[in-house]
Amino acid sequence: MTSLRIGLISDTHGLLRPQALAALQGCDHILHAGDIGKPEILDALAELAPLTAVRGNNDRDAWADAVREVEELWLGKLGIYLVHDQADIPDELAGRGFGVVVTGHSHKPLVTERAGLLHVNPGSAGPRRFKLPVSVGFLTVEGGEVRVELMELQA
């Protein structure tokens, strides 16, 4: 049985730290949950693994027009709903077969279960905000089980 390791990053706001790149090395897929900041960040992440990204509320420049606000993806049998702001999550996701929702926006790392869905916010990997940690996250999918790991980066 093969496992799938999905890297989670959000709220880079134009800063892609070497620690974040190192942490995401070896992932099978990377999800960026918005507030990217500049297209070079997407290019660098796409060099590591297949990348799916969504636009955040601060991604307003012309390059961001090509980035969708919501991505619905299936990696193996796992349905993942990727959106920047938790306020934009529709109600019927579990009924549509999704198992995981990945968001950003708050800069606060979070793992919780609500309405049959695993909600994950990897926190912010960009400029430090207040006293919140600088972090990324990982989903490991193995045999139908999903494990979440949040990793604080030394910044």
Is 88 exposed, middle or buried (CB count within 10 Å of its CB: 0-12, 13-18, 19+)?
middle
How many residues belong to the chain? 155
Q: How many domains does the chain have?
A: 1
Residues spanned by the domain of 87? 3-152
Asked whether the whole model's pTM tops 0.85, one would answer yes
- pLDDT given for residue 2 in this prediction: 79
> The domain that contains 87 carries what CATH number?
3.60.21.10
Query: Which of the pair, 5 or 1, is modelled with greater confidence?
Result: 5
Per-residue pLDDT tens over the stretch 44-89: 999 999 999 999 999 999 999 999 999 999 988 899 999 999 999 9
How far is residue 23's CA from residue 56's CA, in Å, rounded to a whole number?
Answer: 22
